Amino acid sequence: MSAIYGIVGDAEGSELERMGQRLAHRGSAVAEWSPAPTVLFGRRIRDENGSGLSAPSVPVAFDGFIDYRSALADALGLRPEEACEDPTLVFAVYRTLGPDGLSRIRGQFGVAIYDAKSRTLL
């Protein structure tokens, strides 16, 4: 089992790092990033194949899986390379359909999305 975690508000990266260390039992691969000055996200997964973990290019912390992802990407009019990673697909749903559009995503997952425009965390 893996984990996503984060801090919103005045905090330092060292606080997020300590939070992630307390979740070490969730996996050895760690990615921590800041999608906005007062928002810090982190993710831990098991790294069974040694490939590591990188931060997504969108302001989304995601863990889990999406069922029927290719059909969802097609419905949004996305090319395969635009929806190759789950956080990118989730952000495309949010950007295109708004918060209510997230109900169209089927699967088992946890997600946090930072909307810089409205300065909100969902």
Cα dihedral 6, 61, 20, 25 in deg (nearest 10): 130
* CA distances to 15, 33, 71 from 89, in Å: 29, 19, 11
In contact, 74 and 96? CB cutoff 8 Å: no
What is the tens place of the pLDDT at every residue in 60-99? 999 998 998 888 999 899 887 776 788 999 999 999 999 9
Residue 108 has pLDDT above 90, yes or no: yes
Say how many C-beta atoms besides its own lie within 10 A of residue 90's C-beta. Answer: 27
- The Cα–Cα gap between 65 and 91 comes to 14
Res 50: pLDDT: 65
CA atoms within 13 A on the CB side of 3: 16
pTM of the complete model: 0.87
